């Protein structure tokens, strides 16, 4: 009987020893996999960050290459405004330069995906902070301005929505920068100091309104030629 009780005590002791917490085994079975999982996540995040940085660097390099394709080319960025220097602005606005001596500058707006060329030595350029309004100042007015509106409307729908304020114009199909839209021309220019026409073009979620002054080719042939050159070199990217 004593032997049986001794056996029972031994078995109880063995069971207790089996249930006893073993830190090494617990660490190897539970903690190590968790640490490996965390370490793997950190490593993958590090790889992704480096990949993003490398790709971004490549993008910047390509942009830089594109910028330097033409030494006269720049990107529209809000830094081209000359309105802060009134003396220079006045000099450019009133400069008397033959068309053949015009110096041209190419500008690309990569956000709204369009570009243009303007006479850097005969017009002052100014734009608002988000580059949705660009003016080319000339004389006592401006020779051309660009307004950009975010809209899904096509040119016809946009014109109809604004028609009450454009009733002095006659609309007809027009093409600018190989994009079809509308050309609005004044019905009567009598008494208008700065007569002009404008294009309405819908492109990639934006409506572009490009107004330009109609210079008399007999009185101002150089500015008339410059306007034609600007319109011919207007592009959608």
Query: What digits encode the pLDDT tens for the residues 138-172?
Result: 988 889 999 999 999 999 999 999 988 898 999 99
Domain boundary among 14, 43, 66: 66
Same domain, 85 and 174: yes
Q: What is the pTM of this model?
A: 0.65
pLDDT tier for residue 191 given thresholds of 50, 70 and 90 = confident
Same domain, 30 and 78: no
Task: Among 38-47, 49-58, 90-99, 228-237, name the one with the lowest average pLDDT.
Answer: 49-58
Same domain, 86 and 14: no
Residue range 210-231: mean pLDDT, rounded: 95
Number of domain units in the chain: 2
Same domain, 88 and 61: no
pLDDT of residue 8: 54
Same domain, 54 and 27: yes
pLDDT tier for residue 26 given thresholds of 50, 70 and 90 = low
Same domain, 126 and 218: yes
Domain boundary among 48, 66, 84: 66
Statement: residue 27 has pLDDT above 70: no
pLDDT of residue 130: 83
Same domain, 119 and 222: yes
Same domain, 114 and 216: yes
pLDDT of residue 89: 82
The residue segments making up the domain with residue 229 are: 74-236
Model confidence over 39-72: pLDDT tens digits?
Answer: 766 766 665 555 544 454 444 444 333 333 333 3
Same domain, 53 and 153: no
Query: Could you identify the residue written with the tokens 């529209």?
Result: 76
Same domain, 122 and 41: no
Averaged pLDDT of the chain: 79
């Amino acid at each position: 009987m004593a032997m049986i009780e001794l056996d029972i005590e031994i078995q109880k002791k063995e069971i207790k020893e089996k249930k006893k917490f073993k830190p090494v085994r617990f660490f190897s079975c539970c903690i190590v996999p968790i640490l490996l999982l965390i370490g793997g996540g950190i490593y993958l995040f590090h790889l992704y960050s480096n990949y993003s940085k490398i790709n971004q660097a490549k993008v910047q390099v390509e942009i830089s290459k594109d910028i330097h394709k033409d030494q006269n080319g720049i990107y529209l960025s809000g830094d081209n405004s000359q309105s802060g220097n009134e003396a220079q602005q006045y000099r450019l606005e009133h400069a008397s330069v033959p068309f053949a001596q015009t110096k041209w500058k190419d500008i690309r707006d990569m956000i709204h995906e369009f570009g243009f060329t303007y006479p850097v030595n005969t017009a002052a350029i100014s734009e608002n902070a988000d580059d949705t309004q660009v003016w080319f100042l000339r004389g006592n007015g401006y020779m051309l301005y660009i307004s950009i509106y975010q809209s899904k409307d096509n040119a016809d729908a946009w014109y109809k929505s604004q028609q009450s304020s454009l009733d002095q114009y006659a609309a007809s199909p027009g093409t600018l920068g190989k994009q079809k839209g509308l050309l609005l021309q004044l019905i009567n220019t009598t008494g208008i100091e700065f007569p002009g026409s404008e294009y309405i073009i819908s492109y990639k979620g934006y409506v572009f309104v490009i107004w330009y002054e109609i210079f008399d080719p007999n009185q101002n042939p150089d500015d008339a030629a410059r306007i034609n050159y600007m319109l011919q070199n207007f592009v959608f990217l």
